[in-house]
Structure 1
Amino acid sequence: MPAFHLRLAVLPAAIALLAASGALAQKKYDIGATDTEIKIGNIIPYSGPASAYGMIGKTEAAYFKMINDNGGVNGRKINFISYDDAYSPPKAVEQVRRLVESDEVLVVFGPLGTPSNTAIQKYLNGKKVPQLFVATGATKWNDPKSFPWTMGWQPSYQSEAQIYAKWLIREKPDARIAVLYQNDDFGKDYLNGLRESLGGKRTMIVAEESYEISEPTIDSHIVKIKAQSPDVVISFVTPKFAAQTIKKIAELGWKPLHIVANVSVNVGSVMQPAGFENGQGVLSAAYAKDGTDTQWNNDAGMKRWSAFLDKYMPDANRADSNHIYGYGAAQTLIRVLEMCGDDLTRANVMKQAASLRDFTPDTLLPGITINTSATDFGPISQLQMQRFKGERWERFGDIISGDAGG
């Protein structure tokens, strides 16, 4: 056969071989991913003292069901495996080991709580398993050099505390501040952020009172704080204790300026149990929309959120901001998985998570976007001050960027 005809005969086979090898090269999987499935692991307190946050996990599960009903991510269905850790670090370690070693998930997504995430961080980084979009604002999640497999999602607690410090220095420079904080990494991170941000004005803090998460009530701590005669109280506490604090301050007939951490501004699980009449004028900061605020009735993103609840969580309490949080975090994870294409390795998941540019989940406030890089694992760093009025939060002032780093 002439050489020219030989080349023609070989060419189709060569093209087919190249196409096949190209297809194989395009698809890369680690444990937890296949042509048809992506296993996502999660731990969250469905029971225990922080069980109010369990609704985040339920919302994420419902969101992934919606994604699956619409064809999945690049044709792959999400297998969401979520376990209760009861807000207990030892239980968190046990459940995460189960997710990684028995369930063989690709990613541990949205594990909640600073103590629990602290307990699992070294294990997951040692295993090179993404600890992705953790549901806690501790500043240490933004440390890609030391912990390249851990990334936060919400604004850091220190950045949030910095915003409160800036506001107080400007609006109440002579304030006498009392701080109530949870005696663990969560509360201490907030407290450290406030101290550092006040700088030379740190003497404004006249009382620092801690409580244990295991305490059934913190009423005695409020009485002790009142005895120091502060005119500002800042509560770096979880929802159950935020409701107790607001209610007890009102019962004492005391009227300090009260600032509550963003993690405890839920209308349904904090403000309503505390009594709307007791929460009037309480301040906080926000980065997400309020599902009960009528100003978002014609907002495209919130229309999608509302339609999601109608179909997948019809009995949901729209005053529960955990539905907003869970939806936004899940939407961000889906965006990352879409960016991964057919390269569903753990390394690529982290690479894409660190490559988000001006991504705006449906539930974030206008002007607040998600941005990450190889050196910045803090997706959200902006907040806006808000005041509780009537039965909802009202935002005021400009969007403020916190610059507390990892």
Structure 2
Amino acid sequence: MPANATRLAIASAAFALFAASMSGTWAADKKYDTGATDTEIKIGNIMPYSGPASAYGVIGKTEAAYFKKINAEGGINGRKINFISYDDGYSPPKTVEQARKLVESDEVLLIFNSLGTPPNSAIHKYMNAKKVPQLFVATGATKWNDPKHFPWTMGWQPSYQSESHIYAKYLLKEKPNAKIAVLYQNDDYGKDYLKGLKDGLGAKASSMIVAQESYETTEPSIDDHIVKLKASGADVFVDITTPKFAAQAIKKVHEIGWKPLHILNNVSASVGSVLKPAGYDNAQGIISAAYLKDVSDPQWKDDAGMKQFLDFMTKNFPEGDKLDGGTIVGFSVAQTLVQVLKQCGDDLTRANVMKQAANLKNFEVGALLPGITINTSPTDFAPIDQLQLMRFKGQRWELFGDVISGGVSG
């Protein structure tokens, strides 16, 4: 064999060995846990498509439409999302059943944005014992920001206590002699908001809060509670209710001629699912807080982030109501998950999902209000902690004041 041919054969063999070793390295770089493969990322979700909180079901439907859009565009790093969403009727025992099904039978990589404080509380310890991400839960309970004790659970929206602190700051400044009546849902969600309000009012809480009533989600109506609160002589009504009951409260307050300053928690600030059904005339002057842009606000008509949302609704979820606050929430939190999965690259282990979720730096979602970005760290599992106050006027919310932080950690 000529010398040149010998050298060529040796070089070819060496290259073949190098290529083989490198392909092995590249293959080894791909890391998967249950629920992820070269072609698929399996994501679980639990929503109240039925029951007392069914108004929130649109969030899950929006997320399904968003992931379908992502898949049509090629998926995430070449992998398609398989989104499996079950109904729990806002019933914690049913949530446990559905979570077990998703983790043990469907074998999902993670459970994403499951809704409600009592339902998520019911699976909190289970998810952490199984070391399966309970990621971006759809509830603002403060306890989701506890990476030390629950490293597999993370919230997304501002905490209820932070939001209540903002209302307390507003009342202490604008109505320091207010007589406050509080209606709250008798569960972890309602109690978290109430604690934040009391903590925010500080030493004045006991004198300013003159009445408080709790209700159960099984009650068909909260009218009797509203009548009792009016009888207290309160001139401020803090309304800690989910959409069905919020609409009832707004109607009843107007019906009995009570004219307090009405503060409504953000989770029921949807124009489409709460204020419109309650009657725009009945909702005038209500104060709430926002972290997302309001579709009905004309100031966003030329905004790039809002255009992106409206384009998605038109093309990918035309049956959805763009005025329903749940659609813009679902759209935004789905975008956040896509970012986390992109950051995971080819390491789709559950540990890396949580590592990347805890490494979001000034991540911008187009629907967030200007000045609000998503930030997390290994010691901070509260992605959003800022809000801006708003007042309902006409058929839409009007923002006022500065973007402020409630300053509450888990």
Q: What is the CA–CA distance in structure 2 between the aligned matches of 1:11 and 1:397, rounded to whole Å?
A: 69
Q: Comparing 201-210 with 213-222, which one deviates more in the overlay?
A: 201-210
Query: Number of aligned pairs?
Result: 405
The corresponding residue for 2:173 is 170
Please state how far the C-alpha of 1:11 moved relative to its aligned partner. Answer: 3.0
Identity of aligned residues (%): 67
The CA RMSD over aligned residues, in Å, is 1.4
The match for 1:122 among 120, 125, 130 is 125
2:403 is aligned, of 377, 395, 399, to 399
Q: SS where residue 210 of structure 2 aligns?
A: strand
Tell me, in whole angstroms, the C-alpha distance in 1 between the residues paired with 2:328 and 2:11.
61
- Match of residue 325, structure 1, among 323, 326, 329: 329
CA distance in 1, matches of 2:384, 2:148: 19
Counting only pairs closer than 5 Å after superposition, residues 109-188 of structure 1 correspond to structure 2 as 109-188=112-191
- Structure 1 residues 337-346 or 21-30, which shifts more? 21-30
Alignment of 1:376 onto 2:377: no
Q: Name 2:106's counterpart in structure 1.
A: 103
Q: Indicate the residue corresponding to 1:228 in structure 2.
A: 232
1:255 equivalent to 2:284? Answer no
Task: Give the letter for the 2:114 counterpart.
Answer: P
1:360 to 364, 372, 377: 364
Report the TM-score when normalising by structure 2: 0.97
| Equivalent residue, structure 2, for 1:201 | 204
Q: Which residue of 2 aligns with 1:341?
A: 345
Among 172, 180, 195, the alignment partner of 1:192 is: 195
**1:179 partner SS:** strand
Which stretch of the first structure deviates more once superposed, 286-295 or 50-59? 286-295
Which of the numbers 24, 28, 50 marks the counterpart of 1:25? 28
Question: 1:17 deviation in Å?
Answer: 3.1
Contact persistence 2:62–2:320 (CA under 8 A): no
Q: CA deviation at 1:10?
A: 5.5
Look up the match of 1:246.
250
1: distance between equivalents of 2:342 and 2:34? 18
**Could you tell me how far apart the structure 2 residues matched to 1:383 and 1:90 are?**
33
**Deviation (angstroms), 1:89:** 0.0
Q: Where does structure 2 lack aligned partners over 5 or more consecutive residues?
A: none
Partner Cα separation in structure 2 for residue 235 and residue 314 of structure 1: 32
Cα distance in 2, alignment partners of residues 292 and 164 from structure 1: 23
Over residues 295-317 of structure 1, what are the superposed CA-to-partner deviations in whole Å (9 max), with x where a residue is unaligned?
21111111111111111111322
Letter of the 1:245 counterpart: A
* Counterpart position of 1:77: 80
CA distance, structure 2, for counterparts of residue 216 and residue 9 of structure 1: 79
Deviates more, 1:292-301 or 1:141-150: 292-301
Show the 5 A alignment for 1:2-41: 8=11, 11-41=14-44
Structure 1 residue runs without a partner (length 5+): none
- Verify: 1:59 aligned to 2:57, yes or no: no
Q: Secondary structure at the match of 1:217?
A: coil
What does the per-residue CA deviation read over 1:302-345, in whole Å, with 9 as the maximum and x for residues that have no partner?
11111111111113222101110000000000000000000000
Tell me if 1:297 matches 2:301.
Answer: yes
Separation of aligned partners in 1, 2:312 and 2:83: 18
Tell me, in whole angstroms, the C-alpha distance in 1 between the residues paired with 2:185 and 2:76: 39
Distance, in Å, in 2 between the alignment partners of 1:114 and 1:90 is 13
Structure-2 separation of matches of 1:144 and 1:133: 13
TM-superposed deviation, 1:7: 7.4
